[in-house]
Amino acid sequence: MSSAARKDFTIFINTTPSSTATYVLLGKGISELSIEYNAQTTTEQDIISATASTEITGYQPTAPFTVKVDRGDPACEFLDDIRVNRKILGDAATDVVLVYQYEAETSGAYPAEQQPISISIDNFGGAASDPLSLGATLNFRGDATQGTFNPTTKTFS
């Protein structure tokens, strides 16, 4: 059994949410990005038990990351536009496709999830000796749609 490489879990972000989807790879200038599932729980303990019982009632996934600002990268330019214009509500919303390229592909397409998100800008700048950076968080909105994604044609089905 071989281990999957980090590069085999890719995220494509829709940079044209108000028209036909344009998916671009999110990752250039990003050294770390993980999904934090943030389980929502309810805990109860009755008076005759020594141990409480915890139930998972939902999830509130987020994916915080920092990207080195690159004026030539369409994903970075999309994020920076949200920052510059301080977009909120629907103007800060789009979708991403989470692509599991470590799974078996069929006709060039891999198992994937299309996930509505909102984007919050967390910080901008950085240390004097570092490249200019932008910190952001992908906030998952609702449930994902399961399907497949072809990274070459950039189509979700």
What's the average model confidence in pLDDT over 54-65? 97
Tell me the CATH architecture of domain 6-40+55-156: Irregular (4.10)
**pLDDT tens sequence across 116-155:** 999 999 999 999 999 999 999 999 999 999 999 999 999 9
Buried b (16+ CB within 10 A) or exposed e, 13-24: bbbebeeebebb
The pLDDT assigned to 2 comes to 77
Instruction: Tell how many helices (H) and how many strands (E) occur in the chain.
Output: 1, 10
Q: Where are the domains positioned within the chain? A: 6-40+55-156
- Band the pLDDT of 1: cuts 50, 70, 90: low
